[in-house]
Chains A and B, each alone.
Chain A
Amino acid sequence: QQQVKQSPQSLIVQKGGISIINCAYENTAFDYFPWYQQFPGKGPALLIAIRPDVSEKKEGRFTISFNKSAKQFSLHIMDSQPGDSATYFCAASITGTASKLTFGTGTRLQVTL
């Protein structure tokens, strides 16, 4: 059972364009939603994260939009650059002693010149 569904599986965007990756979750107990960026041969690195008490969080060119009622959240990358080409994972967890991250299936983003 995939608790966090992510789409699209892959995405090609032109330089300067907007990249949008979507995630949907099932467990309403989730209360922390991070996005991780992974370059080939490297471990995932936290990019940006949001709590459900806000609907949007922006850090530089990266924005998370969160819709609690729809149980969906998305990552928007503005002015996409070739250096943004990587695999992006959404994740969700429940605050507590276990706090395990449940990851989406990943989106491979390619930003072309």
Chain B
Amino acid sequence: DTAVSQTPKYLVTQMGNDKSIKCEQNLGHDTMYWYKQDSKKFLKIMFSYNNKELIINETVPNRFSPKSPDKAHLNLHINSLELGDSAVYFCASSQLTGTGGYNEQFFGPGTRLTVL
């Protein structure tokens, strides 16, 4: 009964490769997010989708492309991986509509990406 799940948990790959991380939430939320946590633990938002529509697109290289096939899924595809992409990537979800705007976000367990 995991609320927000991510696969894989660990991802080790070579520079220049293309990889994807998948996220699914079973909370019935209408909004999903991708965050990047760097080696210093700093959490920064990358993207957000509300009802499958992109609503937040921070300054992220266009090698990163999110895709939301439906409200319960948000995947992250990364092209031409670079050393600096090594980080922990967290997916999160929240319910924005009908909650008075309380943005309680539920996070997944994270995907540790290591680029060699």
Binding site for B on A (CB under 8 A): 32, 34, 36, 38, 41-46, 49, 87, 89, 93, 95-103, 105-106, 108
Contact = CB atoms under 8 A, between A and B. Distances in A.
B105 A46 contact: yes
A98 B55 contact: yes
Contact of B44 (A96, A99, A103): A103
B110 A42 contact: yes
A87 B37 CA distance: 13
B108 to A, nearest CB: 5
B56 to A, nearest CB: 5
B105 A101 contact: yes
Interface residues of B, number: 28
A103 B46 CA distance: 13
Interface string B91-116: 01010100011111111111000000
A72 B42 CA distance: 20
21 contacts: A32-B101, A32-B102, A34-B104, A36-B107, A41-B109, A43-B109, A44-B90, A45-B107, A46-B106, A95-B100, A96-B101, A97-B50, A97-B55, A98-B55, A99-B31, A99-B96, A99-B103, A101-B103, A103-B43, A105-B40, A108-B41
Contact of B103 (A44, A93, A105): A93
Contact of B42 (A43, A93, A105, A108): A105
B56 A98 contact: yes
A38 B88 CA distance: 13
Given A89-B43, A95-B101, A106-B41, 10 more contacts: A41-B110, A95-B103, A98-B55, A98-B56, A99-B103, A100-B45, A100-B56, A101-B45, A103-B43, A108-B41
A97 B96 contact: yes
A105 B43 CA distance: 7
